[in-house]
Amino acid sequence: MNLNDPAVFKEWQEFLESLGVTNFQANERQQIDTTLGMYNERGNLVATGSVAGNVLKYIGVCNKFSTQGSHFNSIVSALMNLLAQRGVFHLFVFTKVKYTTSFQHVGFHELARTDLGVILETGDTGVTDYVHRVAQAAAKQNLATASKVGAIVMNANPFTRGHRYLVERAARENDLVYVFVVNDDVSLFTTTERLALVKAGTADLTNVVVVSGDQYMVSYVTFPAYFLPTQDDAIRYQTTLDARLFRDQIASALHITTRYLGSEPFSRTTGIYNQVLQTELPPTVTVKVIDRQTSGDNVITATQVRRALADNALATVRNWVPTTTYQFMQQNLTTLQARIQEGMNINGN
């Protein structure tokens, strides 16, 4: 369906509204790559569904003149085949609680749920495979038998001494610490760069295992508000799902008992996220909020480091980052500055 055609869009929106879908905000709609529609012999829309990357969205089905579930199965099947042609086999869906069984009937697996909605996944890989890979990474560092396990999730854009301080603290208090690096490539420093800098900056800490957070931690899939401007209630909803997914799928499988957070004086989104984590994770996972490290009178933040890059004043943040990060920024100064000039946002997360 071509939603840019006003008539088609109107039909689509009215159809979904009749089924109780109400959020047609531009930032939700703009993410849509493709929309499919199914029409009956009289030309009426009877089912629709959209894809945004590897996430199914805006699925709506009218069962008035058909066997329960048949249109739903057709539309999900059509969307899956469409994504398969694009080489996407691992997909997610956010939906209302009442539709979770419909998705489970077509092979989806529920990852987390709140009163407002659930998140499910299906495909050639899943959270079980992910957890297995992470555990293997720990085993490679001979940490498979560690009994006290901590975790930190960070974007590290780029890795600063503030991050380092948090990791050191966790490493002192645990036998094994997993550092999950946010996987989405929407930051000034690319995912590969961020992951490499975290690894380089923690290489001397033998009980620290640095892995990608994949699509399960603070990703575009579970927590789009981290990357897009969003209202408070939506942030609260998304972070609750993210927190529960961490608690039920990741922490339990990897025996994580403590999650470390940096206190968040500046970012509203991260502030809400920290609050929600403190409500959702205990008692299964203890949450420890560590005050940010200061350098002189200033709190160390990656945002300041990025600003220094933009202002061509790298030397001012020399003491804020580990040598490995500093050297990387010196060597790649022009590339990084070019990215900022091309419009890469440096003030967000």
Partner 1 sequence: MEIKKTAIAGTLESSDIQLMISQADSGIAIDLQSDVKKVFGDQIEAVITTTLNEMGVTSAKVKAVDKGALDCVIKARTIAAVQRAAETTATPAWEVL
Binding site for partner 1 (CB under 8 A): 67, 70, 73-74, 76-78, 80-81, 84, 89, 104-107, 122-125
Question: Least CB distance from residue 72 to partner 1, whole Å?
Answer: 9
Nearer to partner 1 by Cβ, of 74 and 278: the residue is 74
Nearer to partner 1 by Cβ, of 90 and 288: the residue is 90
Q: Write phi, then psi, for 327 (nearest 5 degrees).
A: -60, -40
Question: Least CB distance from residue 95 to partner 1, whole Å?
Answer: 16
Element (H, E) at 76: helix 70-85
Q: Which residues contact 38 (CB under 8 A, 6 or more apart)?
A: 45, 46, 47, 48, 71, 74, 75, 78
Nearer to partner 1 by Cβ, of 131 and 305: the residue is 131
Nearer to partner 1 by Cβ, of 69 and 265: the residue is 69
Question: Least CB distance from residue 289 to partner 1, whole Å?
Answer: 39
Spell out where 10-103 has E strands: 34-39, 45-52, 55-61, 91-95
Tokens of 214: 């994949």
CB 20 within 8 A of CB 62: no
- The SS3 of residue 185 is coil
Question: Least CB distance from residue 106 to partner 1, whole Å?
Answer: 5
Nearer to partner 1 by Cβ, of 134 and 302: the residue is 134
Distances from the Cα of 50 to the Cα of 34, 59, 79, 137, 309, angstroms: 6, 7, 7, 36, 39
Question: Least CB distance from residue 107 to partner 1, whole Å?
Answer: 4
Nearer to partner 1 by Cβ, of 55 and 171: the residue is 55
Question: Least CB distance from residue 56 to partner 1, whole Å?
Answer: 13
Question: Least CB distance from residue 111 to partner 1, whole Å?
Answer: 16
Nearer to partner 1 by Cβ, of 83 and 285: the residue is 83
Burial 77-94 (b: 16+ CB within 10 A, else e): eebbeebeeeeeebbbbb
Question: Least CB distance from residue 128 to partner 1, whole Å?
Answer: 10
Q: What is the DSSP string of 94-156?
A: EE-GGGHHHHHHTT-EEEEE-SS-EEEEESS--HHHHHHHHHHHHHHTT-TT-SSEEEEEE--
Q: Which residues contact 28 (CB under 8 A, 6 or more apart)?
A: 57
Nearer to partner 1 by Cβ, of 108 and 159: the residue is 108
Nearer to partner 1 by Cβ, of 81 and 147: the residue is 81
Q: Which residue has the tokens 């999730």?
A: 153
21-30's contacts with Cβ under 8 Å and 24+ in sequence apart are: 21/58, 21/60, 27/228, 27/229, 27/230, 28/57, 29/3
Question: Least CB distance from residue 292 to partner 1, whole Å?
Answer: 43
